[in-house]
Every structure is written in structure tokens, then in C-alpha cells.
Amino acid sequence: MKWAVATLLVMTAVPAAADESAAIRAARARYNAAIAAHDAPTIRTMFVDDYKGIAGSGGELIAGGDAMAAYFVQAFRNPAFLGFVRTPDVVTLADPGDRAMERGHWQGRTRTATGEMRLGGEYLAVWVPTPAGWRLRSETFVTLSRGEVPAAQ
């Protein structure tokens, strides 16, 4: 009987975790779409106020949701900025569900005089549930590749 109850509890917990994972993946998709649309106000909604971000190439700390949104406002003013895309590979919900870890890979592109600079690597993000949905508490980006791609002739 105890085994049956335990099995039932596990079976009912899996859909909830799957739903939360899907919600985090959807939030990441909204963030990617906001970057592509140069939509800084939507980007700001992705972070808690005390967000911490570690940039991939220089390792600089970006402290606060407002600071991260300001980073993108400045990037969007640069005509060479082509964007970032972050793709989740794994989303793991904590037990209890007071946080989640997302691990994935990222790509960034900027226009150069002769083509594009392409950067890429891996990232780790911590999400926390809020009344407004899942928000980013922290992200760490590690640049693992960087290279210039000539413009197509």
C-alpha cells in the first residue's frame, strides 16, 4: 500500500515539473524574441531586481535587472549588434520548486567591416518563481568560440 501511494505521488509530481520546465523554456523563448525585436521593456521583465549576470567574454558582472536592461538598450543603439540566441539544453526544477537551473548554449553575432563576428558558448541560469511567473535570478555565460565569418559574395 505504501508503495502504491508513493508511486501515485511521483506520477502526479512529474506533470507539475514538466509544466514548470515548459514555462521556463517559454520564458527563455520570450527573452530571445525580445532581444531579436530590440524590446528592452520586455527584456527588463525577465529579471528579478537583484539579478546577477556574468558576461561571456570579459567576465564582467552586470548587477541588477535594470543594469541588464540598460546593457541591451546600449547594444541596440549599436548598428553592428545583430543579436544573441540562448538555447536551453536542460531545465532542472529544485525540490521544493523554489528555483530552477537552466543549462544551455548561446550564440551572439555582430557585424564587422568584412562580415560577422560570431561568438558562442555555454551558459547556466537560475530561475525563481514570482507572482508574475518565472524570472531570472542569475546567468553566467562562458565564451567557448569566437571567429570572424566573411560576408557572402
User: How many domains does one find in the chain?
Assistant: 1
**d(Cα 105, Cα 139) in Å, to the nearest integer?**
12
Backbone dihedral angles phi then psi of residue 130, each to the nearest 5 degrees: -135, 170
How does pLDDT run across 110-123, given as a tens digit for each residue?
Answer: 999 999 999 999 99
What are the residues facing 91 on neighbouring strands? 102
Q: Which of 25-29, 56-60, 66-70, 113-117 has the lowest mean pLDDT?
A: 56-60
Residue 110: give its domain's CATH number: 3.10.450.50
For position 152, what pLDDT does the model report? 80
Could you count the other beta carbons within 10 Å of the beta carbon of residue 1?
5
How does pLDDT run across 25-47, given as a tens digit for each residue?
Answer: 999 999 999 999 999 999 999 99
What are the residues facing 126 on neighbouring strands? 101, 138
**∠ CA 105-20-87, rounded to 5°:** 15
Q: Residue 144 belongs to what domain range?
A: 2-150
Pairing of strands 115-130, 81-93: unpaired
